[in-house]
Amino acid sequence: METSHRLDQQEAAERRRKELLEAADRVVLRDGPEASMNAIAAEAGITKPILYRHFGDKGGLYRALAIRHTDALLATLRAALDAPAPTRRDRVEATLNAYLDAIESRPQVYRFLMHPAEGAGETDKGFDVGRHSAPVLRRLGEELAVVIAERVDLDAEDAALARVWGHGIVGMMHAAGDWWLGERPVSREKLVRHLADLLWGRLAEAGDRPGGPVF
């Protein structure tokens, strides 16, 4: 009976946490990096101390939102990588386009995750953007490295090559996408094509693993 009661409490706490994250999402979509704990608490219909009880501080809330949105972005990228494509180049372009479409369609969420310091107020001093956004990029890099190792026949003597490429490609996508989202100097289609051109060196020459899906 006691175990069942604890499980009920845990499920209730998880539901409440999900509701608070959804309220935070609504504020972030509206305010971007200017989203404040006060605004999120008001949106959720609670006081700020209750919000702190669930997440600790803005950093804790940021980490929870980062996990939530990184999971969604990874699912989008995996779908692009797994979708049928005539050639490896088509698959790479589809994946680049999926990433750029994700940040273009929800720019306020992207800015909150990658540039939260832009909206840091008096109560947010000490909120280190690098400390919180770097894990998002590292996770994307590691996930892409796994895909590369599974699908591309690399030199067995260089076990780190897939990770180098994974983090390098994510770094390129992030830096180019960040610049493009702010300035829009070219169309998304042209940016995808230019980034694919940049990648089209050794990756184009490497063979696919026998029996595995084409990267």
Q: Provide the pLDDT for residue 59.
A: 84
Q: Provide the pLDDT for residue 202.
A: 66
Q: What is the pLDDT of residues 76-118, one digit of tens each?
A: 999 998 899 999 899 999 999 999 999 999 999 999 888 866 5
DSSP helix/strand/coil, 147: helix
> Tokens for 150?
């599974």
- Protein fold of 58-208: Tetracycline Repressor; domain 2 (1.10.357)
DSSP helix/strand/coil, 78: helix
- Among the residue ranges 17-21, 54-58, 122-126, 197-201, the one predicted with the least confidence is 122-126
Domain regions of the chain by residue span? 58-208
Q: Count H helices, E strands: the chain?
A: 10, 2
Q: Provide the pLDDT for residue 13.
A: 83
| E strand or H helix at 208 | strand 207-208
**Does 122 score more than 50 pLDDT?**
no
Q: Provide the pLDDT for residue 196.
A: 94
Phi-psi region of 179 (alpha: psi -120 to 50; beta: other; left: phi over 0): alpha
Residue 5's contacts (CB-CB under 8 Å, 6 or more residues apart) are none
| E strand or H helix at 152 | strand 152-153
**pLDDT-based confidence at residue 125 (cuts at 50, 70, 90):** very low
Q: What is the pLDDT of residues 7-46, one digit of tens each?
A: 677 888 889 999 999 999 999 999 988 888 999 999 999 9
Q: What is the pLDDT of residues 137-167, one digit of tens each?
A: 999 999 999 988 888 888 776 779 999 999 9
Residue 97's contacts (CB-CB under 8 Å, 6 or more residues apart) are 80, 188, 189, 192
